[in-house]
Structure 1
């Protein structure tokens, strides 16, 4: 892997910005960087993630150094502000933020974070694992649900995307229009025409009636959602215990949106990719949607609608507003295999009928 920054540069910047002094208060003793233990975990044009190690008087501690590369905008801006501002409210649900530093002359920001091992690689993930994740997810959502967010709006006002802002609605309208375009393009390919033809007319009318298909989701309430709850983005340091102490990682997609969307991100995406578990999906949804509602009620948030119906609405809303577009685009242009398209079409047909999804 190509290094995001030479090891010597990290050590140099560590000394220049006196990170050891700045971290000493967090650990209650002097701190020293273990210079020989620096590992680049991931690098893109947008950021780099390093695993570092420090030594205190009593122990060695792994840390994460995340380097936000210039220009810091869009998802990077959201994630950085989540660490710098939202951690005041969500500190028990994200890695501890030990320090952030603006790097002169580069417009980079270096963030030193708690190292939390990913769930991925620690456990064999099964549908039973959802039961241990949902309580922490409900804690996140309940803490920022509806007016509770606006009680602390000073933390979020300058950077948190809002699902029902004019900008976000315009983006969804644009995606809806592009979905209709790719639906027609896909019909020109014999392979995809065969799959799409039975639903083509209804999909056209249905998409044209969007981009909001279930107003009930907004009525059920909005929260700060993570928006990418896959196992690499969930960390846990105590997987051997009955109750997991979870931290959500990589907050680039955070936004204030219908809270049920994260249940789609957590459960719906899992089953979309895992055909080996597909037969258990309805049973798991019937168990996990009420569990989420129960956990939310423990924090004073109660849903009036049937939790299973709300989950299925969230699934179809997310598919119709974005996921279907991506699958059709990939089918037409071939950048990636569109192997989720069949499943999404089945859900639109089956769950759409069950929910009374109609063309307005």
Structure 2
């Protein structure tokens, strides 16, 4: 009988021990899971931040070393070329958002242009570019990490209308004036050979290639019934005009060159004080930066807006007159004056950019079917009307 009781007690004890261990394990697992939620493992950004002592390197900008909030990180955008993160740092117990842009290898062409704008030009244009806090090379192989000021995009802060051009043009004129002609050449050591220049051999060769391709794809488009119908009434005029290229208005070069941004959409313009009467615009995303005729950016700002916004077309002529004259007046504040009508300079810049590049892309997309050629009719109409007004045919 003693053996039976001993055996039953053993089994009961083993069962109790198993259940107790199971319960303890559950409690410990729950506690560990909660601790992990409260203090998750550091991600790659947090680890690299500590490894490279970034907190101390931020001190000159914030007046003290900062603390990275490891719990507040948001990936805003990621492509095969780059990733953009919104982070948060604490300085004097105050939280400040910052941007981390990760450039993925290979670092060539547009990415190199944008990186060099951050490396070398942000100090020349401090009020017009985000403050660059720190650039780290060779991260995770050949990645380059650029930490910079967070500037809220204009997009999302306002419902954008042509009236808002008046808030942007003063900052655009300041950008152009600070890098206009001799102001650029006097700092040639800063720009060296990395910033594409409109009259350089490489850019001129690219322009000639686009010119030849435009003529080629204009003929190819005429082999497509849909596009033949859309182009037939303008085909002969387009051929005559294109044969005058690829430089259609040399007076744009004579009017002066500056650093141009070339992609002036509302996501690429930031502003901290949008509630105030006068905006302090900072331009974002500089991969398209060039040294080119300054009036090109007025096409990039105003012309592209109206090309896509049919709902505002009825106001286009009045807005162009207002904006072209405002731009000329703002440039005059810096001692820069233009010969001739500002409105005509704007129209020439519009046609030059369309004829040397934009028309080619519309024809290419039309023929190959890679994208919808939404702007083809708008561009052809502008070439027809303004081309006649400006003496192209």
* Category of TM-score, reference length = shorter chain: over 0.9
Q: Distance in 2 between matches of 1:186 and 1:104?
A: 47
- Flag structure 2 segments of 5+ consecutive residues without an equivalent: 1-40
Q: Distance in 1 between matches of 2:321 and 2:280?
A: 25
| Preserved contact between residue 181 and residue 257 of structure 2 (Cα < 8 Å) | yes
Q: Distance in 2 between matches of 1:12 and 1:130?
A: 43
Q: 1:254 and 2:289 equivalent?
A: yes
Instruction: Provide Cα deviations, 1:293-352, integer angstroms capped at 9, x if missing partner.
Output: 000000111101210000000000000001001111111111211111111011000001
Q: 1:280 and 2:327 equivalent?
A: no
Deviation of residue 104 (structure 1)? 4.9
Deviation of residue 148 (structure 1)? 1.1
Determine the structure 2 residue equivalent to 1:195.
230
Structural mapping, 1:319-330, within 5 Å: 319-330=354-365
Among 360, 375, 387, which residue is 1:340 paired with? Answer: 375
Structural mapping, 1:21-40, within 5 Å: 21-40=56-75
Determine the structure 2 residue equivalent to 1:233.
268
The two structures have a TM-score, normalised by structure 2, of 0.88
Determine the structure 1 residue equivalent to 2:86.
51
Among 215, 221, 239, which residue is 1:204 paired with? Answer: 239
Q: Distance in 1 between matches of 2:201 and 2:138?
A: 34
Determine the structure 1 residue equivalent to 2:366.
331
Q: Distance in 2 between matches of 1:7 and 1:139?
A: 43
Deviation of residue 24 (structure 1)? 1.6
Q: Figure out how many residues of one structure are paired with residues of the other and give that number.
A: 353
Q: 1:292 and 2:327 equivalent?
A: yes
Among 207, 210, 218, which residue is 1:175 paired with? Answer: 210
Determine the structure 2 residue equivalent to 1:3.
none
Deviation of residue 255 (structure 1)? 0.8
- Flag structure 1 segments of 5+ consecutive residues without an equivalent: 1-5
Q: Distance in 1 between matches of 2:138 and 2:87?
A: 18
Q: Distance in 2 between matches of 1:215 and 1:131?
A: 28
Determine the structure 2 residue equivalent to 1:79.
114
Instruction: Provide Cα deviations, 1:53-77, integer angstroms capped at 9, x if missing partner.
Output: 0011231000000001111010000
Larger Rg: 2
Q: After the TM superposition, which of the residue ranges 6-15 and 324-333 deviates more from structure 2? A: 6-15
| Preserved contact between residue 30 and residue 57 of structure 1 (Cα < 8 Å) | no
Q: Distance in 1 between matches of 2:123 and 2:279?
A: 22
Determine the structure 2 residue equivalent to 1:221.
256
Tell me the secondary structure at the aligned position of residue 300 of structure 2.
Answer: helix
Instruction: Provide Cα deviations, 1:187-217, integer angstroms capped at 9, x if missing partner.
Output: 1111110111111122122212210000010
Determine the structure 1 residue equivalent to 2:13.
none
Q: After the TM superposition, which of the residue ranges 83-92 and 259-268 deviates more from structure 2? A: 83-92
Tell me the secondary structure at the aligned position of residue 90 of structure 1.
Answer: coil
Structural mapping, 1:91-110, within 5 Å: 91-104=126-139, 106-110=141-145
Determine the structure 2 residue equivalent to 1:154.
189
Determine the structure 2 residue equivalent to 1:304.
339
Instruction: Provide Cα deviations, 1:167-187, integer angstroms capped at 9, x if missing partner.
Output: 111101101111111111111
Q: Distance in 1 between matches of 2:109 and 2:202?
A: 13
Q: Distance in 2 between matches of 1:127 and 1:8?
A: 44
Deviation of residue 103 (structure 1)? 2.2
Tell me the secondary structure at the aligned position of residue 234 of structure 2.
Answer: helix
> Alpha carbon RMSD of aligned pairs, Å?
1.1
